[in-house]
Structure 1
């Protein structure tokens, strides 16, 4: 009886041990398949995605849904899991989508602008307002390809306060217009008589040394456009932009007026031999330029008077920029002087070429006017 009881007890113990072993085996199998099921998924995913990747050209482990993931980390993971695969002979690298041309009429234009000069302006403020402008006052539209590369040239001396306002207003306007541009301030050193047209010739020459421009906008620093639909690029004919200034009652003062802000392509500029170098003091050079344009078979074009409106920053006439008493006589002789007085005979000396965050400054010596003939 005792042996029978002992035998049954041993039998129960053996069954319990076998059951425990079976449970242990089942648990191990579950853990095994749980751990390696992901590896099987990766193998099948690698097989399927690898075929798709060879067609699309994209890396099959580049998953932006993973936080803190980088393309390099995915490449490293793939290198660990996959053997080296040689690209097929007819495989072509992926091509980037070409940037479309900028629209003729940019969609972000505002139209009529409120221009005022009462608030205080600083270069620090203007720089914060224009973080996308690069060193030297350059900007390229990031979302489209501009048809022209535009150099904006400003003749300058002792107008620092005006320059702040000009930069404050013009940088945003030019960006909205989708202009690919650079801004050049041509500073006449010394206190000799001011020569606006010669400084513009210098600006044209020096800007071309800095970049390959094909359009040139020549602007006075005290003139601000009141409408951003007045697009600052070149046209089939020389362009006069500032046709309706507030100081003239928003009217064109006379038919041949070409002052304030104008634009010529490189081809147009060279056709007229640039601007005259011999207009020392205020006045006359714009009329000479207008004569050069018409004498060379071109025509001045202008925007609508409602769009070509400008505000001028009020100021006193600069010292050493008094009216040129010889201007009327010179204007009458444009036909005789334009071939021997212009960009082809320009002389000057650059003393400083410096790029600031919002513009490029070029300080030059341009000589002094010849002595006036003695009248007995």
Structure 2
């Protein structure tokens, strides 16, 4: 009995061992075929790469590789819906700047009592680039505007002008550059000739579309007075405080004005022969009307300006010949202007808030004796 039970036990043990061996054999076979299939896949990839080199229009790469369908002429493959790993997102085109920028505030408080430094102005305008340049980051301006200032010994005024105008121009979404045309020496001042020089020199810097000519002592009191050019020559400063915020007379074109390149060349630029104070603005107005153009102006409530009070500059005394010259604009404008301009550039320096161009413009001709 004991031997019989021992035999049955040994039989069960042998069957269990045999079963374990069978299971082990099956596992080994499964692993073997799995490794073999991977090796086969490796060889197929290798052969696929070689095949694709000789037949570049096929793609056998796994896991999505298929033979492409040949399409009839004129058809195209549909773009893949799966993004590529080296995909670079396309930059959306910048929209045009609005006609009326939404950030304008309207009437401004302009005062000249607080101290002003260029360091302060620079901190207030960190996005203005070297040379006094600014481009709106969120829209594309329709015009590239050069603002030209005739200048000599007006550091105090320039600080206030930059303090107020940079923020105004940025709110107006103007693509602009500021150029100070500095007359060298102490000879008689010639505002209009400096403006001609400014027009000529800024075109060496970039291709500007609009040219705004501004005195350094005039600050706009309303940022809705947009500093860009129009279909007709533009007079911006139509209501100064020194004139009781009124236009002094119908033909007045002084202070701040703007012309396109076409308009400027049509009048042969500005006169070069007005030495000293007065007369050149009336000559420019005559040139505009004689060439079939009209002066455009903003609303009188918007075109208000405040002038920084100052004494008359030395060597800028009233020009006694101005009235006679104004009467002869029709005869002189073809020979006296941008086509007869002569000067010499002494220095061009780009500062953080403006570009300074120092020029030598010569001396006025001797005045004829009285009588």
TM range (shorter): 0.7 to 0.9
Structure 1 residue 98, shift from structure 2 partner: 1.6
Partner Cα separation in structure 2 for residue 322 and residue 274 of structure 1: 23
2:218 is aligned, of 217, 223, 228, to 223
What is the CA–CA distance in structure 1 between the aligned matches of 2:79 and 2:120, rounded to whole Å? 48
Give a deviation string over 1:356-376, Cα, whole Å, max 9, x none: 111100000000110011236
Q: What whole-Å deviation, never above 9, does each CA across 1:81-132 have from its counterpart, x for those lacking one?
A: xxxxxxxxxxxxx653221111111111111111111111111111111111
Gaps of 5+ in 2: 21-61, 66-76
Q: What is the match of residue 170 of structure 1?
A: 165
For residue 59 of structure 1, report the CA deviation from its aligned partner: 8.4
Q: Distance in 1 between matches of 2:93 and 2:81?
A: 19
Across the two proteins, how many residue pairs are aligned to each other? 329
What secondary structure does 2:178 align onto? strand
Match of 1:361 in 2: 356
Describe how 1:88-237 pairs up with structure 2 within 5 A.
Answer: 95-237=90-232
Take 2:369 and 2:132, find their aligned partners in 1: how far apart are those partners?
Answer: 46
Q: Cα gap change, 1:233/1:57 in structure 2, threshold over 3 Å: closer, same or farther? A: farther
Counterpart position of 2:28 = none
Deviation at 1:57, TM superposition (A): 7.6
Q: Distance in 2 between matches of 1:295 and 1:374?
A: 31
User: How much does 1:60 deviate?
Assistant: 4.6
SS class of match (1:216) = strand
- How do 1:278-297 residues align onto structure 2 when only pairs under 5 Å count? 278-297=273-292
How big is the alpha-carbon RMSD for the aligned residues of Structure 1 and Structure 2?
Answer: 3.3
Structure whose CA Rg is larger: 2
* TM-score of the pair, normalised by structure 2: 0.79
Partner residue, 1:312? 307
Tell me how far apart the structure 2 counterparts of residues 216 and 162 of structure 1 sit (CA, whole Å): 21
TM-score calculated relative to the size of structure 1: 0.78
CA distance in 1, matches of 2:360, 2:202: 17
Q: 1:366 to 1:60 in 2, by over 3 A?
A: same
Aligned mates of 2:117, 2:348 — CA distance in 1: 22
Q: CA deviation at 1:251?
A: 0.5
**Within 5 A, what are the aligned runs for 1:12-31?**
none
* 1:127 counterpart SS class: helix
97 and 275 in structure 1: CA distance in 2 versus 1, 3 angstrom threshold: same
Q: 2-side partners of 1:296 and 1:60: how far apart?
A: 61
Distance 2:360 2:80 in 1: 58
Call closer, same or farther: CA 1:327–1:97 in 2, change over 3 Å.
same
Distance of 1:142 and 1:375 partners within structure 2: 59
